[in-house]
Amino acid sequence: MANEKMAAQIANKAGFIAALDQSGGSTPGALRLYGIPETAYSGEAEMFKLMHEMRLRIITAPAFNGDKVIAAILFERTMDGEALGKPVPTYLWEDRRVVPFVKVDKGLEAEKDGVSLMKPMPGLDALLSRAAKLGVYGTKMRSVINLPSPTGIAAIVAQQFEVAAKIAEYGLMPIVEPEVSIKSPDKKGAEAILLEELAKHIEALPNGRQVMLKLTIPDVPDLYAGLVRHKNVARVVALSGGYTRAEACKRLAANHGVIASFSRALVEELRATMSDAEFQAALARSIDEIYDASVNKVQASMTA
């Protein structure tokens, strides 16, 4: 079964996960970095069409394949779209051997108690059902921690695991993403509290249930080593969180067993005006660099 092959790839294969899931709020910024200003389009439909074209350019590039990119996280509209005449999830798995995931959250609530919880997801069941039928393997959902607030962080993790339980009912693998902001005035303190909360919820998972974790690269290298080894954790992946690719890769390489799931850091050199040859070469360089930091680890010398 494809799902068994996907599960083996996610759990064991060397490589990293490409995060291609910018949604409505972050799309204008992503297009701007790509070289397309907001004056170049009018309305949401045109904006998402340009974003889809950018994503297609990435996933159809020669270097974007399962040799180094083991999975890709998609925006809902991308999941529902097509690549070279096939549904995008089908194309990714059949043509590229890249495991498809989909982002399911609807953005963030206003900050309260040092954190931003996820907004309600009234259409979640319909989205999960559609994703399962399209051959998507798992999901991703993000909330944000700004301060080392024990009650705020407890609420973030509880919400993440509550939604993860519903996702698991559809046979999908949930990626839990409680991002600690790299701008937090006490990032290290927030990460210590987050580790405790994650450990409690992971230990309490029903027998045979697993989650994946997508976490900010910690200030203390190998902070999450115990979670990496836990039987209830399929994989721990790291977000780039606003670090440049060079900085994110340097930090990632000091965290053993953790692979990348980068978004901005993956595409930071890509531009709409590049020729196909230039675009493909730049993407290949980025993939090689992120793969190297995901696979070839170093002894940490940095502390933040």
- Domains in the chain, please, with CATH? 104-239 (3.20.20.70)
How confident is the model at residue 27, as a pLDDT?
A: 84
Catalytic site includes residue 214: yes
pLDDT computed for residue 73 by the predictor: 98
Q: Which of 68, 106, 177, 197 is catalytic?
A: 177
Question: Cα-Cα-Cα-Cα dihedral of 178, 179, 185, 188, to 10°?
Answer: 70
Examine the residue annotation and report whether 177 is marked as an active-site residue of this protein: yes
pLDDT tens track, the chain, 304 positions:
468 999 999 999 999 999 998 776 778 888 999 999 999 999 888 998 999 999 999 999 999 999 999 999 999 999 999 999 999 999 999 999 999 999 999 999 999 999 999 999 999 999 999 999 999 999 999 999 999 999 999 999 999 999 999 999 999 999 999 999 999 999 999 999 999 999 999 999 999 999 999 999 999 999 999 999 999 999 999 999 999 999 999 999 999 999 999 999 999 999 999 999 999 999 999 999 999 999 999 986 544 4
